[in-house]
Amino acid sequence: MSSPSIYRLRLQDLLAICVMALLALGVLMVQSASMKVAEEHCRGCNYLLKNQAGQQCPGCGLELTPANRVAGPPSWKWSEYGMKHILYVGIALLAFFLVGHLDYRKLLSTKGTWSNPVLWLLIISTFACALVLVPGIGKSVNGAQRWLSLGFTRIQPSELGKWAIVVFLAWWLAARPVRIESAAGFVVTLVPVGIVCLLVVIEDLGTAALIGMAALMMLLVGRAKVWHLGVILPPLLGAGYWFLRHKEYRWKRIIAFLNPWAYPEREGYHMIQSLMAFATGGVLGKGLGRGIQKLGYLPEDTTDFIFAVIAEELGLFGAMLTIALYLGILFVAWSAARQAKDAFGRILAFGIGTTIAVQALINIAVATVSMPTKGMSLPLVSFGGSGLVITSAALGLLYGVCRVATAQEAEMELAATTDEPPQADVAVA
> pLDDT value at position 1?
42
Give per-10-residue mean pLDDT for the chain (429 aa): 60 95 95 71 58 62 62 66 92 96 83 78 93 84 76 84 95 86 88 94 90 93 86 89 86 88 86 92 89 85 92 95 97 94 93 96 94 90 90 96 86 72 51
CA distance 220 to 233: 13
Question: Could you please report the per-residue DSSP string of 366-411?
Answer: HHTTSS-------TTTSS-SHHHHHHHHHHHHHHHHHHHHHHHHHH
The CA distance from 191 to 200, in Å, is: 14
Contacts of 279 by beta carbon, 8 Å cutoff, 6+ apart = none
Q: What is the pLDDT of residue 82?
A: 87
Torsion, Cα 92 97 101 106, to 10 degrees, reads: 10
Burial readout 162-189 (b: 16 or more C-beta within 10 A, e: otherwise): bbbbbbbbbbbbbeeeeebeeeebbeeb
d(CA 19, CA 403): 16
Please give the pLDDT value at position 95: 96
To 10 degrees, the CA torsion angle through 102, 105, 111, 116?
70
Distance, CA of 11 to chain centre: 20
Cα–Cα distance, 18 to 25 (Å, whole number) = 10
pLDDT confidence of residue 294: 86
pLDDT the model gives residue 43: 57
Query: What dihedral do alpha carbons 113, 116, 121, 127 form, nearest 10°?
Result: 30
CA distance 292 to 283: 16
pLDDT at 218: 93
Question: What pLDDT shows up at residue 315?
Answer: 94
**Which helix or strand (DSSP H or E) is residue 141 part of?**
strand 138-141
> Hey, is 140 helix, strand or coil?
strand
Q: CA–CA separation, 214 vs 221, rounded Å? A: 11
Question: What's the distance, Cα to Cα, between the start and end of the chain in Å?
Answer: 26
Give the separation between CA 275 and CA 272, rounded to whole angstroms. Answer: 5
